[in-house]
Amino acid sequence: MIKIKNLHKKFGKLTVLDGLDLEIDKGGIFAILGPNGSGKTTLIKALLGMVIPSKGDISIDGNSVLKKWNYRNELNYLPQIANFPANLSVIELIKMVKNLRPKTPNEKELIDLFGLNEFLNKKLGNLSGGTKQKVNLVLTFMFDSDLIILDEPTTGLDPIALIHLKNLIKKEKKSGKTILLTTHIMSVVEELADEIVFLLDGKIYFKGSVEKLKKQTSQTNLEHAIANLITKQNA
Ligand code: ADP
Ligand code: MG
């Protein structure tokens, strides 16, 4: 479904992506992991056309996405940092996003699921971080798309909301969707990910299942397996 070839991205002198190759098959949950600043968000933004690669190509379903925008209608994206207009209420923002996208939304169920009914008329600027993240999730999941890209969806969520989010992601997978997500919560990776994609030094340093990573690093604990990958690289 997604093919990334020889992708390079520099910000000034800083090389963030350095000849990255990656193929993601259709269907399943892919966890993009890597230390802070390793380029996960940059990779995701390149996929969305929000970051222009210095070199290389990205294609979705066989078509290059560079300089295109229509393909964005066919994917759902949750940004890592949602800069919502502080003066809008939750319901105003939901209505606005509904009007922006040429798709049929299904927001009611999600508003109920995340317990947002009592917040609908509150201004976004007055919400706690976790509640804002729940709004962010409603905006992302209320449309039906084959590709779902979630940049740190777990940030700020309480345990109940985290369970709802995990169930939501599992449900999407069951209906054949492709889900890319980044997270620092290893229990989420263990529970959800069919494959780990590990980014380090601007390249894909590991791609495979949690089991494969544990075997390769001779670790039984995922956090230790990841730490082992990083220290081996630096040795
Ligand atoms: P991650 O999501 O893995 O934490 P990012 O992709 O956000 O990492 O960032 C990778 C590196 O690129 C960081 O060093 C960050 O400071 C830098 N960076 C990201 N976006 C920009 C930008 N627009 N301008 C300059 N540097 C950037
Ligand atoms: Mg990031």
pLDDT at position 81 is 85
Ligand lying closest to the C-alpha of residue 42: 1
Q: Is the pLDDT of residue 234 over 80?
A: no
What is the distance between the terminal CA atoms of the chain, rounded to a whole angstrom? 35
Runs of H (alpha helix) within the chain = 40-48, 90-100, 107-113, 129-141, 159-174, 186-192, 210-217, 222-234
Query: Edge-to-edge strands of the sheet including 75-78?
Result: 75-78, 147-151, 178-182, 28-33, 195-200, 203-208
Structure tokens at 103: 């798709």
Reply yes or no on whether the pLDDT at 235 is more than 70: no
Question: Could you tell me the distance, in angstroms and rounded to a whole number, from the CA of residue 191 to the centre of ligand 2?
Answer: 21
Sheet containing strand 2-11, edge to edge, reads 14-24, 2-11, 55-60, 63-64
- What pLDDT shows up at residue 128? 95
Q: How many CB atoms sit inside 10 A of residue 60's CB?
A: 20
16 within ligand 1 shell (Cβ under 6 A): yes
Q: What is the dihedral of CA 65, 67, 72, 74, to 10 degrees?
A: -50
The packing angle between helices 222-234 and 210-217, to 10°, is 50
154 Cβ closer than 6 Å to some ligand 1 atom: no
Domain limits, the chain: 2-83+145-234
pLDDT per position as a tens digit, 52-105: 999 999 999 999 999 998 999 999 999 998 889 999 999 999 999 999 998 999
Q: What is the CATH number of domain 2-83+145-234?
A: 3.40.50.300
Nearest CA to ligand 1 atom 19: 42
Give the mean pLDDT of 173-196: 97
Cβ of residue 210 lying under 6 Å from some atom of ligand 1: no
Q: How many C-beta atoms surround the C-beta of residue 70 within 10 A?
A: 8
Among protein residues, the one with the nearest Cα to ligand 1's atom 1 is: 37
Of the pLDDT bands very low, low, confident and very high (cuts 50, 70, 90), residue 180 is: very high
Interatomic CA distance for residues 90 and 153, integer angstroms: 18
Distance CA 162, CA 67 (A): 36
Q: Which atom of ligand 1 is nearest to the CA of 36?
A: 4
Q: What is the mean pLDDT of residues 193-222?
A: 96
What 3-state class would DSSP assign to 185?
coil
